[in-house]
Amino acid sequence: MSEAAVSALDAHLSDEQRALLAQTAALAATTLAPIAAAGEEGRIDRPLLHALAEHGLLGRLFQRAGDGWRPDVSALDLCLIREGLARGCTAAETAFALQGLGTFPILQAGRPEAIDAWLPRIAAGEAAAGFALTEPDAGTDVAALSLRAERDGEGFRLTGEKIWISNAPEADVYSVFARTTEGAGARGLTAFLVPRDSEGLGGEALRLLSPHPIGRLTFDGVHVPPEHLLGEVDGGMRVAMRTLDMFRPSVGAFAIGMAHAALDAAVAHATARHAFGRPLKDLQALTHRLADVSARVHAARLAVHHAASAYDAGVRPVTQASAIAKLLATEVAQEAVDAAIQVHGAKALEHGHLLEHLYREVRAPRIYEGASEIQREIIARGLFPRVREERA
């Protein structure tokens, strides 16, 4: 894209926001990508966490404020950081996002002693965090969670299993959601802070299509002291939803960053590669498909920024706007990567090629933090109450 086109497409952003996006993308491509390339897929990249801290990105998530800590990033800035990182280094984007997702429940609902024990280490890139919500029989349906939290004196003991937990089983600390009241659905869940070295906590790594670290956690009577309670007993759903409301629009930003990386690769290849005596960019069948995808990527990006801006403006709930943003962005990102691969041909299928990597990365966001089908259900539920009200 030309500088003029970029400026026009970013006209709704402030100068500071455009600079944040550009600087983050440059940092990801020039500094963070080589560090990530030296890491091992499926493992927490500790040097990458240190680099994210060293260059101030983790400090944008968490900042010391007087005697405590507070989030120091708006939802829109979070989206711009995630988009910029994804354009240049998806591993850095994932490491950054997982630190935020796993830590935000501690930051918003933890006891002061728990915050003081963990936030400095996480913000410095010295400890990795995980968000442990999903179970084998309960994913999007949070009300069906069955990990048991039973009273043990003033604390609790956790028994059960979590699965498809990012950064598991290597994370140093987890925000864990467990059932404290049977038969109460979403109202019977409580959030806990659980360090990795807790007795009875086990786990194993899982290999999925996407290359980031993910695994299973097992809880065999894991003791949680009262100071590790996050929020109130049976108030875990509020802790989870406040976290997801903050981070869900930025999942769309991650997808948009990957879509832009794929489109940039497609444009560069179509410009340089010749077939039948002319560059690929002169083939209308190819360029019109890229044009259609580019238009939808831009529309989805605006939906992401709208949802984040609504959150920053204090609008609650932002469920509908977030669902629209995540649905549009993650679906079109998959299409963008697929179109870019089609432009490149077989070369893009080679292991290690940027587009082969993006193809594996882009699939998961259509599932986690609410699958596309669930986002459609949320959007539909928002439509029909309005119809009933208008007919009343």
Active-site position among 3, 369, 377, 390? 369
Residue 150: active-site member: no
Biggest CA–CA distance in the chain, Å, is 79
Q: Mark 215-250 as b/e (b = at least 16 C-beta within 10 Å).
A: bbbbbeebbbeeebbbbebbbbbbbbebbbbbbbbb
Q: Which two tokens stand for residue 163?
A: 């699965």
Position 375: which residue type?
A: Q
Helix (H, G, I), strand (E, B) or coil at 24: helix
Enumerate the β-bridge partners of residue 69: 64
Helix (H, G, I), strand (E, B) or coil at 156: strand
Least Cα distance to 178 among 163, 165, 162 occurs for 162
**What does the DSSP assignment read for 29-80?**
IIIIHHHHHTS-TTS--HHHHHHHHHTTHHHHHEEEETTEEEE---HHHHHH
Strands 173-179 and 129-132: parallel
Q: Which residues contact 28 (CB under 8 A, 6 or more apart)?
A: 84, 85, 86, 87, 88, 89, 92, 93
Q: Please count the other Cβ atoms lying within 10 Å of the Cβ belonging to residue 285.
A: 6
Q: Which residues are catalytic?
A: 369
